[in-house]
Chain A
């Protein structure tokens, strides 16, 4: 007779299921990106996934573990997809490869693999690229909707040629890039918010917070709501991040003056806000453990994001904010234990005996 300990029943969901749900939830955001910016994101993702699986296999094999067992948990694929979504479409191939490889090998496996990495691998890869190759990383293609007259957006073959210049046989194809809404606000000098909205096509053509970007963010929001509904994570971290970000934006909106840092809506629906809130901040491995801790963790990411966006030298800041808070997560954990049954108040993780 089999001799095992209780419980003898198990719920259906597995870690691979969780990862697959996350992948499914990225679909609306991915569709929005592709719809608005072309094939670049799809190429990024394919490249990143291939790189990630190769690096994961190599790392696992080097660590003398069963390769398929680890590949089947889909965690490498999730990291790759998230990084692929975050990178500028049509970025050169080596950008994607270097970022993904760094994320998987250094940020994940050097720390012990899945579950032991203190930093979100996708964000580590992203930040390494952003610091090392700022030109490539800040070149976002113009959304189709505001392409100047007479310019046709690149098709799949052109896109591939842009990503792999070798395919173009020496005739380098240039992509048409444009400033993102956050770029525009960052470099605003002297215009009122209202004037800016009228003058810049990226705002003029948009409904809520900048053309295309609003749809990308709404796509990720939809995916996030799906995951929330499926119970993959709790609302605490993403909601508190969004609320903190919106609050900061409201405080510094300054009535839309020339020194305004942008409306709450702009901050919520621009850049990597929703991708970050629902797919990065919710990464359980690197975030705080308790719900209370996650509220603090999310809120501080929101605040840091706003601060770096507004006063730092980068237009977007989700990746920096997340990495900074990854550092702080264990500290937050120490002071945010839940109050357990039968105890008057919560304890501290650092409590000593006697």
Chain B
């Protein structure tokens, strides 16, 4: 006989377990529709992989795990998916959630099943993958994905199988053990194999299930699995409580069983693992106790996931008018269902339909007399009367000091409270409130940190500036002092030195100021990145609108507006820069004397000739050489011509400089105006504008060409090529415009 430890507290409500154990596990005919929620477990909802009107086979995966902690969902029978929408699900809040509605075709055709004949040949990783793909979650009630729980962060020396079933009324595990003990034992062995054969494997069972004990015990001969029974007391089946009863160890308050080398699994989970591994059956059905005095018969059923609870009730002679409340789970921790049509899910271990006599309404709560019966009943050794006192006064600090979060909400305190106070309800509410406050606290902490960081940064910048100012002031003082001391001896020299200083400073400033081309280039980069940012912000807004909260949407909108503003800023700056550059080149052109222009032309031609000579030297092909030489000769002639002109122009009168400057100013103003106008225009408008101006210029150029031809001017060639160029440009711009609109 193995030693067990006495759990502190606990209560022993009427067991009410015999009603549902009169019959063997039953099945129900296929219902007309099955409603399969995507979120039946702890963790992220599963991700849909089928769509409406798909035909699916029994056991086919309908949704896959979306994250590490998530579980897949399978078709419980073959049929057609008729809807994927939000429907009421079994949840204390009575909320709706995304569900797949499956209309069975009645054929119950299996999809392909992959079995493993001998699990010992498979690696733990393979088995874990099977378990994960089979959508197995803890069958005891919490529905935590089993594959995750089987990959503990610490080495495991003890596997505990929970067959306690301490809640009154529920007999799902009991009957499962009685009828399928072999499958359970193999399931447990698979679990041991996955966990690397822990030293001890213990099955914990309360002594009110003698038949289950007798069914299981003979099968354990020759295995290292030990069946341990202990006396019946609620809530011995709580994971933490069971671990203490069987090992005397306590799971640390903020830790997991794995922290003390223990993994705990429900016995129903072991059975589901067996089915997944040895028979290739994913989790598509479960044993559910359907019980209560509002039913004609109470019985355990193997129900398909998605079966409407009302369907199971009707098959057992449900008398709705006599039903006090409809509970999913047991009377101690189960929650009431507002809608009897919600489906059976993976964690539905019991459907309780008590009569009014069985579950009378609680009389109104009286004052707490601090009798301490709750403290005697608390399995976590809390002081429920103090927790209640502080929950009422919303003294959250005291609540935390009284370890509110160690409360497992078993309901033992409420059960014994002579004043009928709904203690657990107070604790749940207080926990929710504290969590909310913590979240807000965290948020404000972050905001404060950000603010302080910003403040520090500003202070630092300010200090640096002040230091620079100070340095400059000192330098100036020194210079002054030097000037004063040297004034008598070398006044003229001093003046010269000051002049030099100013020149040097100007040169430095000029150097610092980058060339216009660079500025434009930088601005173009800025523009590109602003455009990218706008695109990103738009994407974000779209995302937020699809799935986010109002607040997120507002934020995204504000972000988009901000980036758009920046984009237009960048646009404006670029246009300004371009205008400035253009105006500068215009000024240069106008200001330059014809002589300078000619000199420039000579330089360009000389350059061209040099490249041509290089090319002639570089090529072997005689034809190419000849062509290049012709070109060179042409250039040579041009050069002569220009030199001639230059020689003539030196004698000519100087250009009217004032007039030129006026013209330049006008041109600059025009360019600026145009740039300003351009900045506000859309891309298309800009293009259209460009095309129009090119058209105008082309017209003028053609006009000039025609005049020149009439006058037999020597510039015909140049004019012709200029018009040619304009025509090309116009064609290009027109094409762009076409493309754009």
Q: Which residues of A contact B (CB under 8 A)?
A: 1-11, 13-15, 17-18, 69, 73, 75, 113-116, 231-234, 284-285, 287, 289-291, 333, 337-343, 347-353
Contact = CB atoms under 8 A, between A and B. Distances in A.
Contact of B362 (A10, A234, A349, A353): A10
A348 B401 contact: yes
Given A4-B325, A9-B332, A347-B403, A15 B382 contact: no
Contact of B422 (A5, A289, A333, A340): A5
Nearest to A333: B386
A5 B335 contact: yes
Interface string B358-387: 010111101111111101100111110110
Contacts of A1: 323, 325-326, 336-340
Q: Which 9 A-B pairs have the closest CB atoms?
A: A7-B411, A115-B367, A342-B253, A2-B325, A351-B401, A9-B331, A8-B331, A341-B380, A15-B418
Contact of B400 (A5, A15, A18, A353): A353
Contact of A8 (B325, B370, B376, B386): B325
Given A337-B402, A341-B251, 17 more contacts: A1-B325, A3-B325, A5-B92, A5-B335, A6-B332, A8-B325, A9-B168, A10-B417, A13-B373, A15-B366, A15-B371, A113-B367, A114-B366, A115-B370, A234-B372, A338-B382, A351-B400
A8 B359 contact: yes
Contacts of A287: 370
A127 to B, nearest CB: 22
Interface string B291-330: 0000000000000000000000000000000011111010
B367 A116 contact: yes
A351 B402 CA distance: 9
Interface string B168-207: 1000000000000000000000000000000000000000
B579 to A, nearest CB: 60
A337 B382 CA distance: 8
A284 B372 contact: yes
Nearest to B372: A284
A126 B419 CA distance: 28
Interface string B7-21: 010010110000000
B267 to A, nearest CB: 23
Given A2-B324, A8-B327, A337 B383 contact: yes
B240 interface: yes
27 contacts: A1-B323, A2-B324, A5-B335, A6-B334, A6-B411, A7-B331, A7-B414, A8-B325, A8-B332, A8-B334, A9-B168, A9-B331, A10-B362, A10-B414, A11-B415, A13-B373, A18-B371, A114-B369, A232-B371, A337-B402, A338-B375, A340-B381, A341-B244, A341-B381, A342-B406, A350-B401, A352-B401
Contacts of A9: 13-14, 168, 331-332, 359, 415
B721 interface: no
Given A232-B371, A342-B252, A4 B416 contact: no
Nearest to B422: A5
A341 B381 CA distance: 6
B424 interface: yes
B397 interface: yes
Contacts of A15: 366-367, 369, 371, 418-419
A290 B375 contact: yes
A114 B371 CA distance: 12
Q: Is the interface of B mostly helix, strand, loop or mixed?
A: loop
A285 B244 contact: no
Contacts of A75: 369
B240 A7 contact: no
Contacts of A17: 418
B581 interface: no
Contacts of B381: 338-341
B435 interface: no
A10 B251 contact: no
Nearest to A286: B370
Contacts of A347: 401-403
B333 interface: yes
B250 A341 contact: yes
Among B240, B333, B372, find the residue whose CB has the most chain A CB atoms closer than 10 A: B372
Given A9-B415, A17-B418, A3 B336 contact: yes
A342 B362 contact: no
Contacts of B335: 5-6
Contacts of A6: 329, 331-335, 409, 411, 414, 424
A7 B327 CA distance: 10
A153 B508 CA distance: 124
Contact of A349 (B240, B323, B366, B398): B398
Contacts of A349: 386, 398, 401-402
Nearest to B407: A340
A113 B367 CA distance: 9
Contacts of A339: 381
A7 B332 contact: yes
B31 interface: no
Contacts of B14: 9
B344 to A, nearest CB: 17
A285 to B, nearest CB: 5
Interface string B577-592: 0000000000000000
Contact of A342 (B240, B324, B334): B240
B232 to A, nearest CB: 15
A254 B486 CA distance: 110
A9 B15 CA distance: 11
A11 B13 contact: yes
A311 to B, nearest CB: 33
Contacts of B325: 1-4, 8
A338 B377 CA distance: 13
A341 B379 contact: yes
A284 B370 contact: yes
Given A9-B415, A115-B367, A290 B383 contact: yes
Contacts of B411: 6-7
A126 B422 CA distance: 35
Contact of A7 (B324, B354, B415): B415
A340 B386 contact: no
B240 A341 contact: yes
A13 B366 contact: no
Contacts of A352: 397, 401
A10 B421 CA distance: 11
A338 B364 CA distance: 30
B92 A13 contact: no
B359 A11 contact: no
A122 to B, nearest CB: 14
B712 interface: no
A333 B8 CA distance: 20
B26 interface: no
B168 to A, nearest CB: 7
Nearest to A8: B331
Given A9-B168, A232-B371, A289-B375, A4 B401 contact: no
Contacts of B376: 231, 234
A351 B396 CA distance: 11
A14 B252 contact: no
Among A3, A13, A114, A233, find the residue whose CB has the most chain B CB atoms closer than 10 A: A3
B250 A342 contact: yes
Contact of B406 (A3, A114, A341): A341
Contacts of A289: 370, 372, 375, 383, 385-386
B329 to A, nearest CB: 8
A8 B354 contact: yes
B338 A115 contact: no
B369 A11 contact: no
A340 B416 contact: no
Interface string B405-435: 0100101001111111010110010000000
A149 B332 CA distance: 67
A7 B364 CA distance: 15
A116 B392 CA distance: 13
A75 B367 CA distance: 11
B248 interface: no
